[in-house]
Amino acid sequence: MKNLLCLILASIISVPVMASENDFWEWFSHNQQAIESYESGNETLLDDILIALHKYNDALYFEFSTQNEVNEFIISAGGDSEQFDSVFTLVGAAPKLKNWAFIALKPAMGFDFISTYEGVDYDPDKIWFLPLVSHSSPDKLGLRVGIPHYNSETHEHSVSAIWIVLDAGLGEFKSSQKIDYIETVELPSNPEELGYIEFNEIGDYLDWLEKKT
């Protein structure tokens, strides 16, 4: 416990107090080489980046990749649209660093992936959704998401998991702007007959809905 406490304190002490977007990017530039040399499992570095980011705004998160020719650093609001302006401001102040691209909000990557959340796999190819439209608020779209072998205990965090899948598949901006509500249920044996749509077609459905309205 004492060693763990020392590690946490060392991590916090290594990150200076800051408040502005320029402070964050100054910290990032100073630690650029360490970030570019990141190896999987280096939790201390990830903690330091998050602490530095939270000095600017503790509602923001990040993802980054150094596996390609151009490194990518994504600033996310965790799907909270009230924090989008903060993300755009931060990314707008990013320095021009060689071989780095700084991206505001998670970009769309399609649904060719399986997401694991709290130890449970969510495969967009195997789940379906039923659009829920309120007559009183027709501009607000809800989704009833049918999951195979659904169990309320096993899938306790399924709503959060589906939001993560949507952010990745549609992009964080589109999913937060187009979808207002999610509920999860057992996938019916005849989903298509009941009006369900295959989950990986949700992007096409949203485009159709936008043209329709």
Q: What is the pLDDT along the chain (213 residues), one digit of tens a residue?
A: 433 333 333 344 344 455 799 999 999 999 999 999 998 888 999 999 999 999 999 999 999 999 889 999 999 999 899 999 999 999 999 999 999 999 999 999 999 999 999 999 999 999 999 999 877 777 779 999 999 999 989 999 999 999 999 999 999 999 999 999 999 999 999 999 999 999 999 999 999 988 876
Write the secondary structure of 65-76 as one string of H (helix), E (strand) and C (coil). Answer: ECCCCCEEEEEE
- The answer to whether 50 and 64 are in contact (CB under 8 A) is no
Q: Which residues contact 40 (CB under 8 A, 6 or more apart)?
A: none
42-74 residues labelled b (16+ CB within 10 A) or e (exposed): eeebebbbbbbbebbbeebbeebeeeeeebebb
C-alpha 59, offset from chain centre: 12
- For residues 12, 16, 20, 25, the Cα torsion angle rounded to the nearest 10 degrees is -90
| CA atoms of 73 and 64, how far apart (whole Å) | 4
> Which strands make up the sheet holding 71-76, listed edge to edge?
61-65, 71-76, 100-104
- The answer to whether 24 and 18 are in contact (CB under 8 A) is yes
